[in-house]
Structure 1
Amino acid sequence: MTTPPPSTVTDADADEVVLGPRFWVPLALLLLAAAGLGLRPLWSPLLWPALGTGLLGAFLLVQSVLLRLRFTPEALLVARRDTVIRRFPYDAWIGWRVWWPALPVLFYFREEKSIHLLPMLFDATGLRDQLERRLPPSLRRDDD
């Protein structure tokens, strides 16, 4: 009696990469808001900018928990937990850039019909590695 070969992961499954979350951008905004609220006795108009910054930080913190970037062989997928909410095929990309590579805060990429600017809520090194691996060298714009 012959035993079946062990199950193998398909090439498509093996080539999918999910970037982990990074919480430092939302936490930095929340810290900035807390500092602004702490300085409010010195300058009372600081209340509204501090509250706005705090709300943005809280929103980005929730998004960091919920959203994931998944790289597949054909496209970049934005998923909310296990549900794909947006698909960006690589063949439609014109260029990309991670702004401030030493302290990555924003990820910019352009498709044929639209421009996208995302806060860095995920692993910047993993993002850069995957983009360099999956996109042609002519689209690499990470030198600024």
Structure 2
Amino acid sequence: MESALLSASHFTTTTLLKSEREVAGGRVAVTKLQSSFYGKEINSHALFIRNFSAVKRIHLTVTSVMRRKLVKKETIVPDPDYRIPIVLLGLSGGLFYAENLPAAVPIGLLGLLLLFQTTRVRFVFDDEALEVKVGEQLEESGENVFVGGKNRWKYSSFLNWELWWPTFPILVYFKENQTKPEGQVHFFPVIFNGKQLYDVMVERCGPSKTSGPK
């Protein structure tokens, strides 16, 4: 009986040893469990390895990413630009002087409409979306009269966009899949500062095939 108890005692005896060594500039803790049967080692297995330098690098990377996500982008509202309505009104005046009333009247009306819109319509680029607003107080513009829905489109929904023409921007075009999955096209007259508009579109919506306005 005594012999059997001693044998069981030797069989269940385990020793937990810890050793530390330098690996690749980092402090590594290695824990080994050694099992002994009649004084002979039968197994050695590393249970936990931790490289403190690697952990520190991961922590710094995660912290940097979280900080970038917490910093919101500045809201940008391009300045109004009256060049297009002025050009249209000037052209209308010339046609009227030449007694070409059928052409002068519609061009003049378009010029007056764009002149009015330039005083009130604003493109607002906030942290996550482009939104069309009106007035000095940047009030809501309501639903889009052509395709419905709010005049607000997330940058992530933009499929492509263009500015025509870079040297004298007249139209801005973009296509987004927020309004409908297959994509919805939008055209707006450039009644804003073309350079400011182009720069913020590139920053928030990605690059365009056109070059920037001069």
Cα RMSD between the aligned structures? 1.8
- What is the TM-score with the length of structure 1 in the denominator? 0.82
State how far apart, in whole Å, the 1-side matches of 2:71 and 2:133 are: 21
**Whole-angstrom CA distance in 2 between matches of 1:80 and 1:71:** 13
Match of 1:21 in 2: 80
1:83-111, CA deviations, whole angstroms, 9 ceiling, x for partnerless residues?
Answer: 13221111111101111101111111111
1:132 maps to 202
Tell me the matched-pair count: 127
Between the aligned residues of both structures, percent identity stands at 31
Counterpart AA for 1:71: F
Structure 2 Cα separation of the partners of residues 39 and 89 of structure 1? 47
Instruction: Mark the structure with the bigger radius of gyration.
Output: 2
Q: Partner amino acid for 2:89?
A: L
CA deviation after TM superposition for structure 1 residue 11, in Å: 5.0
Post-superposition shift, 1:143?
4.2
Provide, for residues 9-63 of structure 1, a one-character-per-residue CA deviation record: whole Å limited to 9, x for no partner: x954x610111100000110000000000011xxxxx202100000000000000
The answer on whether the counterparts of 1:96 and 1:142 sit within 8 Å (CA) in structure 2 is no
> Is 1:57 matched with 2:111?
yes
Post-superposition, which runs of at least 4 consecutive aligned residues in structure 1 deviate over 4 A? none
2:189 maps to what in 1? Answer: 119
Unaligned 5+ segments in structure 2 are 1-69, 142-150, 178-182
Instruction: Specify the SS of the correspondent of 1:116.
Output: strand
SS at match of 1:17: coil
After TM superposition, the score normalised by the length of structure 2 is 0.56
